[in-house]
Amino acid sequence: MDTKLVVADFEDWRQTVDEAIALLEQGEVVALPTETVYGLAADAFNAEAVAKVFEIKERPSFDPLIVHIGHKRDLEKVAMVPEELDELVDELIEAYWPGPLTLVLPKRPEVPDIVTSGLDTVAVRISAHEVMRGVSRQMPVAAPSANRFGRISPTSAQAVIEELGGKIPLVIDGGACRDGVESTIVAPAMEEKGLVLRMMRPGPIPKEDLRKFAKVVKPKKTKADHIESPGQIESHYAPTTPMIFMDKKVTFEPEEGKSYGLLSYRGEGNASLVEKHDWDAIEMMSPGKGKLAEGAVRLFYCLRALDAAGVDVIVAEAVSETGIGVAINDRLRRASVGSGK
């Protein structure tokens, strides 16, 4: 299969949306830009099309997908909001949609079970990117990241081509992703002590901000093949090169004869490992600035660059466990678990 790459610039992005819709209506899958990462989209109500997403990504059937909608009013097409959660959900939507917040809610029976991996809940959001939002205004789409399962998420159209070129008919190039890490996923719930937000996956919207709406709690621990929402698998976002995540429990001892690449936060400072070893390759997430938001945007780009550098091992520095730094460390931690496979 030839994969067509179409650039969605300021003047003709609506035309690219029409091209994507035409393919989606035929049961095809297409790669679309969002503000977080590029997504591999299929008509959310076409079970056969959604099955192609799982097949192309080699994604396990127990890992549910996020459904993208175009308007708040479209939420009732895919989800049901319990009365006790109605006010909280409205407040979250008003604050963060369109944007990188995914809500896990009871699903409508019309949503195919393959989308939710048989769960009675559905993960749903409205993207802030005009292309994804333009498509989802015409039909809800199920769209996980546009890469092979477990590998580094794509934040550019070229990264999608490298991952899935020849497997899908269309990639729409909407530029580099603004946020760089996948959406924050929360499950609103009523518990004994009141309303809570169960943090299923950290992302661009940090828990510090979400605490304004309800208490933020950790989700229940689940088995690898029995998860409650997208974004819960322990091994994910991984390079093919073995990787070490340098959290507080880990020390770096280079082995003789091995080459090492460093993923550094800013390339300087007491916490940096830049001066601790003669590295064969170095990528910096926020060169000299120490900005967590910039680090998030560059995270997957830097990981891809190091994975292509031909080193034997990647060593990744941890960042501050605040704000979006929680999401960055989460991705690095899980990338190290799945790396080298």
Q: How far apart (Å, rounded) are the C-alpha atoms in residues 274 and 268?
A: 7
Domain C-terminal end among 149, 182, 217: 217
- pLDDT value at position 54? 97
Q: Please check whether residues 262 and 331 belong to one and the same domain.
A: yes
Is residue 236 one of the residues assigned to a domain?
Answer: no
- What does the block give as tokens for 165? 């070129």
In a structure prediction context, what are the per-residue pLDDT tens digits for the chain, which is 341 residues long?
899 999 998 777 889 999 999 999 999 999 999 999 999 999 999 999 999 999 999 999 999 999 999 999 999 999 999 999 999 999 999 999 999 999 999 999 999 999 999 999 999 999 999 999 999 999 999 999 999 999 999 999 999 999 999 999 999 999 999 999 999 999 999 998 899 999 999 999 999 999 999 999 988 765 555 688 898 888 788 999 999 999 877 788 899 999 999 999 988 766 688 888 999 999 999 986 779 999 999 999 999 999 999 999 999 999 999 999 999 999 999 999 989 87
Is residue 255 one of the residues assigned to a domain?
Answer: yes
- Split into its structural domains, the chain has a count of 2
Q: Please check whether residues 264 and 193 belong to one and the same domain.
A: no
Report the predicted TM-score, pTM, of the whole model to 2 decimal places. 0.94
Q: Please check whether residues 175 and 247 belong to one and the same domain.
A: no
Q: Please check whether residues 179 and 308 belong to one and the same domain.
A: no
Is residue 135 one of the residues assigned to a domain?
Answer: yes
Q: Please check whether residues 184 and 269 belong to one and the same domain.
A: no
Q: HEC states along 32-77?
A: ECCCCCCEEEEECCCHHHHHHHHHHHCCCCCCCCEEECCCHHHHHH
Under a CB-based contact definition with an 8 Å cutoff, are residues 151 and 237 in contact?
Answer: yes
Q: Please check whether residues 36 and 72 belong to one and the same domain.
A: yes
Q: What is the CATH number of the domain that holds 266?
A: 3.40.50.11030
Q: Please check whether residues 283 and 154 belong to one and the same domain.
A: no
- What does the block give as tokens for 122? 């559905």
Dihedral angle at the C-alpha atoms of 274, 155, 180, 42, nearest 10 degrees? Answer: -150
Q: Please check whether residues 66 and 130 belong to one and the same domain.
A: yes
Closest CA to 103 of 24, 210, 193: 210
Q: What is the CATH number of the domain that holds 29?
A: 3.90.870.10
Is residue 204 one of the residues assigned to a domain?
Answer: yes
Q: Please check whether residues 194 and 268 belong to one and the same domain.
A: no
Taking CA atoms, 55 is separated from 148, 151, 181, 335, in Å, by: 10, 15, 23, 22
Q: Please check whether residues 210 and 112 belong to one and the same domain.
A: yes
- pLDDT value at position 234? 83
Is residue 222 one of the residues assigned to a domain?
Answer: no
Q: Please check whether residues 291 and 208 belong to one and the same domain.
A: no
Residue 111, domain extent: 4-217
From the CB of residue 157, how many other CB atoms can be counted at a distance below 10 Å?
Answer: 23
Q: Please check whether residues 183 and 269 belong to one and the same domain.
A: no
Is residue 65 one of the residues assigned to a domain?
Answer: yes
- pLDDT value at position 288? 67
